[in-house]
Chain A
Amino acid sequence: NAGVMQNPRHLVRRRGQEARLRCSPMKGHSHVYWYRQLPEEGLKFMVYLQKENIIDESGMPKERFSAEFPKEGPSILRIQQVVRGDSAAYFCASSVSGANVLTFGAGSRLTVL
């Protein structure tokens, strides 16, 4: 029973490029959350999705950031025209519908040069 799988684990992009981060939730989990973490800091909520629906995107920047969780395939967090300030660890977590337990992936570390 694989846990939450995130890839890539490390991603390097130059300013202006696009970054795509993928998250496959645990089997049976239909809720996906994306969080961002800067070194030595807590996690900042970005977006919460269920299959094919964005439930809460109040933590997402209004521009350049988007997320999806299609009927088939992983959830994707997309950052367009990356800037150095986007450098961070991005964590995905999943949960069973209505549950109050999050299972986290190992994170994707984005570095923008």
Chain B
Amino acid sequence: TQLLEQSPQFLSIQEGENLTVYCNSSSVFSSLQWYRQEPGEGPVLLVTVVTGGEVKKLKRLTFQFGDARKDSSLHITAAQPGDTGLYLCAGALGTGNQFYFGTGTSLTVIP
């Protein structure tokens, strides 16, 4: 069973459109991270959220941690081809150092 489920699994949109990616679980996380991975490379950290209800912005990307710290969303405004990649959420449980990764959302932005 997968601890973190992401939706949608695949997303193909036109340049300039907005999109939201969801990361859901029945578990409570002490922190949650979003990563972006390009083909042939390792994931690169985008953001870490630790407080329920927290919202962080990174240019055109907005990240939100659910109030109960069980879910998170990533919203991209005016998507660009450079946003293409695999977006992964990852959560840490309690004080443990193990990070559980979501199933991933593969985003393609068409010029």
A, B co-complexed = yes
The residues in B between 63 and 89 inclusive whose CB is less than 8 angstroms from any CB of A are 86, 88
Q: Is the CB of B101 within 8 A of A44?
A: yes
Q: Which of B40, B100, B104 contacts A106 (CB 8 A)?
A: B40
Chain A residues with CB below 8 A from B31, complex form:
100
Q: List 25 A-B contacts (CB under 8 A).
A: A33-B98, A35-B101, A40-B106, A42-B2, A42-B4, A42-B101, A42-B102, A42-B104, A43-B43, A43-B90, A43-B101, A45-B98, A45-B99, A55-B97, A58-B98, A93-B42, A100-B31, A100-B92, A102-B33, A103-B45, A104-B42, A106-B40, A106-B41, A106-B42, A107-B40
The answer to whether B48 has its CB under 8 Å from any CB of chain A is: yes
Tell me how far the C-beta of A38 lies from the nearest C-beta in chain B, rounded to whole angstroms: 10
Residues on A lying within 8 angstroms of B by beta carbon are 4, 31, 33, 35, 40-45, 48, 55-56, 58, 91, 93, 95, 98, 100-107
Q: Is the CB of A101 within 8 A of B48?
A: yes
Q: Report how many residues on chain B are interfacial, defined by Cβ distance under 8 Å.
A: 29
